[in-house]
Amino acid sequence: MTTQFSDDDSVGSIADQLKGMVAYGATLSKISSMPGLLRLTGMPESCSPQAKAVEALGLIRAALGRLEGTYGIHRRPESFTADQVRQALVWLLVLNRRAGGLSAGNRRHKALEALGTRGLTVDTFRRPGMYEYSLMLILARELLEGRAVAMAA
């Protein structure tokens, strides 16, 4: 069975879904309510949302592992290394044990530390369309590129 992808699977839509997970982290229950992320798994409709969420979390982790080079983030003059971007995303999405139990605000602060930014507040970082969203766009692009490679194989 072929999985159908829709306009909801655009980079912006996937980034929106990723940003929506920052409040509580990339939990299986949260991922299972994100249709675009579930479709990225390529699993048949007959599979449970929980099974698709497990696969989607694996895709997110794999996409983080593929990040390389440097990235610009929302008009910042400096570039950020793949390691800085990866660590910031890990904090934001609660993909490490140290992030568990921290509030979204504290995790955003840790993400800013990972990026090494100066003069940027958590409030500015999290605003719609700003820095946090730029990080989610990077991850969404990597997820979609990974899907394209998998579909071509």
Q: Does residue 148 sit within a domain? A: yes
pLDDT, one tens digit per residue, over 111-144 is 999 998 877 889 888 888 788 999 999 999 999 9
Predicted pLDDT of residue 152 = 57
Count of H-run helices and E-run strands, the chain: 8, 2
Predicted pLDDT of residue 129 = 75
Reduce the DSSP state of residue 6 to 3 states and report it. Answer: coil
- 141: burial class by Cβ within 10 Å (0-12, 13-18, 19+)? middle
| Both structure tokens of 41 | 């798994």
Structural domain of 126: 7-152
pLDDT, one tens digit per residue, over 58-117 is 999 999 999 999 998 877 767 899 999 999 999 999 887 776 788 999 999 999 999 988
Q: Does residue 146 sit within a domain? A: yes
Predicted pLDDT of residue 12 = 92
Q: Structurally, how many domains does the chain consist of? A: 1
Q: Does residue 94 sit within a domain? A: yes
Q: Which amino acid is at 125?
A: F
Residue 97 or 149, more confident: 97
Q: Does residue 2 sit within a domain? A: no
Q: Under a CB-based contact definition with an 8 Å cutoff, are residues 94 and 26 in contact?
A: yes
Q: Does residue 57 sit within a domain? A: yes
Q: Does residue 139 sit within a domain? A: yes
- Structure-derived torsion over alpha carbons of residues 66, 35, 88, 22, reported in degrees to the nearest 10: -170
Predicted pLDDT of residue 70 = 93
Q: Does residue 1 sit within a domain? A: no
Q: Does residue 65 sit within a domain? A: yes
Predicted pLDDT of residue 151 = 56
The confidence band for 9, taking pLDDT boundaries of 50, 70 and 90, is low
Contacts 24+ apart (CB under 8 A), 37-42: 37/143, 39/3, 39/4, 39/5, 39/6, 39/8, 39/9, 40/9, 40/14, 40/143, 40/144, 40/147, 41/3, 42/3, 42/147, 42/150, 42/151
